[in-house]
Structure 1
């Protein structure tokens, strides 16, 4: 597999401690893929390595080559903006390499459309340091889309959002993928949202990839029990699994 994202025996160490252990898989472009697993499984570390922010061994390729910064967007887990820049200014910074000293009407139109897709219209002139954590998270995600990356890596981009806004984030991401053929790889904790709104899942446990594929393959009772140490009932709703925890092990 040359198209899309390919990981070959990727490993990340912290001192003498292995955090990611020989992860190998391929993810086709044109979809949203969810990286799932319990706290401490290594999700942020793996995403940081793919984004080029952490040293690793093994191979990481995007369409057969090392991912280029100009084609990649990355949003880390903790993003707090203390700047007094306006929301519109922050969005336009997503295109800073292209804008130079001028902002065109098409750039402003793109920013307005992106804000509307995330339900942020009316906030254009607000200073970033006056927004809630959830609003900042939405603006920073919108900024990443303004760059139109081929590979977008999101580390829990919905963590500060309520349920409605989590769903609202996934809708424009799906539209973006459908329009551009990009790959969105995002760490998620909500298994039910991941099952319904992503097309490919990767299950990480103690730094190892234990399952990958569609929700019916990954979200089985054995995988949930072994990875999350819980007993859960799995019921279907519109063909998608709903995981109902019933007790810890």
Structure 2
């Protein structure tokens, strides 16, 4: 069993020092707890099974058998037998030669295995978290590339819109100038139209005046001719008479 643990430690590589540290920590903790206990605690040493008797000697009835690693509290000490109390509350005697105050290797190994399993679980969780982080990082990089591509497209579109805006601004300035010129020409046209209307009215007035003058002149000539003819006829009549 110890060989399998050594193989596990060798295969772990960088975890070997951590395993040794955990072993020392567990042993130290157990020793401290043993020192602080009000009564001395011993364990069944590396024997498969020992007897738990009612008294000191083989002649006493065996209450039960105890496996390696069974803990109990020492009540009385003797050169050959110790009176002990199990955690179940039972009291009896066991041979001193099968007892030890050191934590049994099986319990140390079991504790180490438990620690190793916990560490493996933590490492597995860390690997899983690292894989998840790697996936999220790859996804984030993909999103970043997509955003960068969209940003480039948006930049190009913005440049095109800016160019169109500048072109429209120039054209709008031309439109404003054309509008001003149109308004000026419209004003001049209105003025010229007004002047033309005035000239036409004045021309009609002059035409009527000329016609009246011509009519009057013609009437005057006719009247003068008539008067002259009349005087001429009177003179002829007088000459004849």
Question: Which TM-score applies when normalising by structure 1?
Answer: 0.21
Q: Which of the two has greater strand per residue? A: 1
Larger relative contact order (CA 8 Å, sep ≥ 6): 1
Q: Which has the higher helix share?
A: 2
